[in-house]
Chain A
Amino acid sequence: MKKYTRSMGTALACFLVVIALNFFLPRMLPGNPIAYLTGFAEEDMTPRQYEYYRSALHLDESLPAQFMYYLQSLLDGSLGYSYKKEAVVSELIFDRLGNTLQITLPAVLLSAALGLVWGLSCGFHKNGLADRASTSLLIVLNALPTFLIALVLVIVFGFKARWLPYAGLNSAGVPAGGAEYVLDRLRHLVLPVASLALAALPSRYLMMRNMAAQAADEKYVLYARARGLPPGLIERGYILRNIAQPFVTMAGMSVSTCVGGSLVIENVFSINGMGTLLSDAVYTLDYPLMQGILFVTTLIMVISIVAADIICVLIDPRVRWGERV
């Protein structure tokens, strides 16, 4: 139990690091913080504008007071104000967050499930033909950058075969609501989710495969075999139960990697998600928006780690029984 609270503590510490980074970065870098916090060049501002921004951003107050204002903006959920887009940062992000999660969550679940089943069976039958073939295949896949997988899928299934749409999340002209809209959305989601899942699959597969291969050499597996238990039972009832926990932890930690991957995927498929918002923010030098996105991504990461730890506690019989006894 102690192990899990500690990893939650680390997640929280990481969260604080990001908050501190967000706060100090514009104030510590060479150059005027006003330029960083508004995104406008100092020379383009009239003195009145300059004074206005200076007091609106509380830059005329002491550093601790500024930090309090920053924390306040995080707590009330506004995350600051984007002067470039003239909108509250959190509204901009939450408009897009749904689209990003629609790609990320199915991809995370799909790649985890596939990696679990495939890796387990290959690790259990290690050095067999299937194991060698699929391990080398996934090692090659591992060497492919995410965007290349996406591009290949677009070219093969979108351009050549014309089976699936490859841009946006909805076709023009399909009215919102109704079964047709949902089907259309699902068709649009196939390629992005598939590319992200394929990009995330190798690391999960390889981890699962190596752990299963290691566990297959353990004495308890030998004993189970000697008792004549069926291989399927040994695989699921003995090996899986022993290596499930590190796998869940790893899957939880890699959600943030998948969010990173979805930034790339969104750019390839021109989906209006956080990724396109982030590249937009970087191109237009919209610093408050960049910071807000970093904050929200970290938040997603912390949530997924905590969720993974809760699952670990739930599936850990030692914890369950330890509490009962």
Chain B
Amino acid sequence: MSALTLYDKLWNAHVVHEEADGTALIYIDRHLVHEVTSPQAYEGLRLAGRKQWRVESVVATADHNTPTKDWDKGIADPISRTQVETLDANMKAFGAKAYFPFLDKRQGIVHVIGPEQGATLPGMTVVCGDSHTSTHGAFAALAVGIGTSEVEHVLATQCLVQKKAKAMLVKVDGALPAGCTAKDIVLAVIGKIGTAGGTGYAIEFGGSAMRALSMEGRMTVCNMAIEAGARAGMVAVDEVTVNYVKGRPFAPQGAVWEQAVGYWRTLVSDAGAKFDRVVELDAAQIKPQVTWGTSPEMVLPVDGRVPDPDKEKDATKRDAIERALTYMGLQPNTAIKDIRIDKVFIGSCTNSRIEDLRAAASVAKGRRVAANVKLALVVPGSGLVKRQAEQEGLDKVFTAAGFEWREPGCSMCLAMNDDKLEPGERCASTSNRNFEGRQGTGGRTHLVSPAMAAAAAIAGHFVDVRELR
């Protein structure tokens, strides 16, 4: 038999039916549900009089609309509240394997709680009505973000209609310099291949630098595969994967655990497996990354300078640079380190796990947020991450330094709740998108790692975390 990629293996294991043109029905093992992209799907089932195919596949939570403070007061915005209550009602009517509603101790960002609960397992197909579902690929799962019609389709049929993507290997070898993180790896990858570089591909992230990452780091990288245009990102199974999953609430146990691990260990690309495209990066050359524009591909090392549109020959690209500079309120050739910030956001499905909070806290410890920074928010990814951080005293480190310590949720990554930027405000953010208006109408987002966000909070402007005094 010919050598297979990890993606081939995951795909082959889930094909239920294939049409002549290659369109396939792919079986879905885990369906993660949240309040924003599911109401119309459940309504669709109701209107068509259809039943849910496999209730036990669904794990749900409310995360996008939930506030990050004053939980005792509930959800103030009536429209947000209606959306969260609609999910409550749909969970009651249709059921789920698990539902972690607003206020539950295990509630949190859907892409944090899936892995945390062991609801995401190697070898699974995972879908969610959210583009950052690619996160779960860190477990050697085939995980893709879907639209609401597809949410309804999966609820009704347990299958997704898909065509097989091409396979890309992003190979990151070498030792990542101190002060650089998984976030810097993935931003560097996006800077290299562009936001459409992965369109039509499933990306496997490999190489010694990827193998050296924790599961948290691998999740950060896979999370932003979609920012490179790829619906799915994935990492092969190794000891790190198996150790992370072991003992999680929904992970298999006993004899079944042994059987599962035996299978999971096959979830690696075979030697000699063919990829349609291979991209290589030297981890040793990666520096802390900072985005300067309105697309994640507009990214530079922290010692870089904002581009000059006059030096760009391609008209469409020049327009994009000019438009981005205008929106971001930046002059050409400005040094990244000279960009002063107004707010800091540490959180999101990209960077809100315990390791992220530890990295930020280690920078914040014994220091103070700069006077020009109006708000520095730390939003843990889940109630359990929050509890863990508090047990380690990280909350005290943050609050002593002048950061606000909040309740879990998506928060200012997309600003559907009250946490948002005001027009013209500039933010160092550990989230995943620097699009116009993403963190609030007129807000200006610079994407960075948690350590770099904390360093910017302390300095009041971007700074190489390794040079922070």
Are A and B interaction partners?
A: no
